[in-house]
Amino acid sequence: MRDLIERDLRHIWHPCTQMRECEKLPPIPIKEARGVWLYDFEGRAYMDCVSSWWVNLFGHCNAQISAAIKRQLDSLEHVMMAGFSHEPIIRLSERLCALAGFEKCFYADNGSSAVEVALKLSFHYHLHKGKQRGKFLCLENSYHGETLGALSVGGVGLYRDAYKPLLLEVLSTSVPRGEDYSRELEALKILLQRHGEELCAFILEPLVQCAGNMHMYAAGFIDAAVRLCREAGVLVIFDEIATGFGRTGSLFAMEQCEEKPDLLCLSKGITGGFLPLSVVLLGDEIYKAFYGEYEKAFLHSHSYTGNALACAAAGAVLDIFEKEGVVEKNKKLSAFIAQEFEKLRDFDFLGNFRQRGMIYAFDILTEKKRSGLWIYERGLQKKLLLRPLGNTIYFMPPYVITKEEISYVARILRELFEEFEP
């Protein structure tokens, strides 16, 4: 294993990593994985408590998804989507539109690209309607990906600050911090009165700002904000790249809101964590604005747009949701998670316990920066892959996790915090 690590570090620059820290804490080569468990080359196990950056829904090497990809592999691996099509993508589009209540699907191959698509579509839609609305509105503390457009509408300074001179000019409005969101709503109202005409779209992550330290906020605010945007002629984009596919307790987070967005971005869990794929769903109203002469078309593409293997995986994911009553089953699992993690409330340096469906989070209340890193290192020694966001510890496991495994995580966390010096 040491040899693999050396070879890794010789040539690989890892994402979202200060490589110098790899001297002390090198990347762990994983040999194989099953369910919630990853295994390294020395046979050590790690429970994937973060679903490998929130993509894995039904466990690693899930047999059904794996079989669907293998079946597809023998007939068609990929064909470009300009001028061509294939069955897995047709079937997937029918199912996604029916499930989410939209008419059209525009595909890409990762979350940030889906966000770029949604932003460009919103701007271009208004242009087709004879208006140049050159700015986007986003929520404070939001995260929409790392490409320059997506980064522009993000509010997490750590990822964004260095690139500020390169970013689009956007407007940002406050996200509610408690149950009462009247102040945030009033601020949005004033912002729309002043700048409504300049804005083409409002982008937000419904219910949970995941990369924004798992900040959870009220559906009521989203509904009221969407209505205000509609009155101002501003399109609404829901980024459900992280919250989609059962994560927040319903298939899509937007089901817990009354209002629907004009554009919906999906990715991450869409293939159960097997292959990259993303999609923007939208209605006929926007689609028709681009329909006509060639010059009116949406001339945007990615090489791997709508990859057939990824679509086959996504089909298998929807099969599992349908056949196994996943959303209902998850309700019991998330209640059990709440019950087990309840015991952590005894530590007075832990607080802000919160949960939406299959996301559970709490904060270490300390001045010390990156105390989450301590939990990460100690967690690994106890078979837990946790990847705290700053001082926020979160649990976002694949849905195939068992009650015993949940209890194990809660017990180990208790042990770790008994040794922790805040």
Q: Which residues bind ligand PLP (CB under 6 A)?
A: 110-112, 115, 143-145, 205, 210-211, 239, 241-242, 267-268
Residue 143 C-beta: closest distance to ligand PLP, Å = 5
Residue 264 C-beta: closest distance to ligand PLP, Å = 12
* Paired strand residues for 239: 265
Residue 242 C-beta: closest distance to ligand PLP, Å = 3
Residue 240 C-beta: closest distance to ligand PLP, Å = 8
Residue of minimal CB distance from ligand PLP?
111
Alpha-carbon distance 36 to 48, whole Å? 5
In this complex, which beta carbon is closest to ligand PLP, that of residue 172 or of residue 407?
172
Residue 396 C-beta: closest distance to ligand PLP, Å = 11
Residue 365 C-beta: closest distance to ligand PLP, Å = 25
In this complex, which beta carbon is closest to ligand PLP, that of residue 192 or of residue 313?
313
Cα angle for residues 295, 299, 304 (degrees, 5° grid): 160
In this complex, which beta carbon is closest to ligand PLP, that of residue 239 or of residue 363?
239
In this complex, which beta carbon is closest to ligand PLP, that of residue 111 or of residue 306?
111
In this complex, which beta carbon is closest to ligand PLP, that of residue 271 or of residue 355?
271
In this complex, which beta carbon is closest to ligand PLP, that of residue 192 or of residue 237?
237
Residue 92 C-beta: closest distance to ligand PLP, Å = 18
In this complex, which beta carbon is closest to ligand PLP, that of residue 153 or of residue 406?
153
Residue 130 C-beta: closest distance to ligand PLP, Å = 31
- R_g of the chain computed on alpha carbons: 22
Chain centre distance of CA 213:
12
Q: Maximum distance among all alpha carbons in the chain?
A: 67
8 Å CB contact between 110 and 276 = yes
Residue 332 C-beta: closest distance to ligand PLP, Å = 25
In this complex, which beta carbon is closest to ligand PLP, that of residue 100 or of residue 242?
242
If 0-12 CB within 10 Å is exposed, 13-18 middle and 19+ buried, where does residue 294 land? exposed
In this complex, which beta carbon is closest to ligand PLP, that of residue 62 or of residue 267?
267
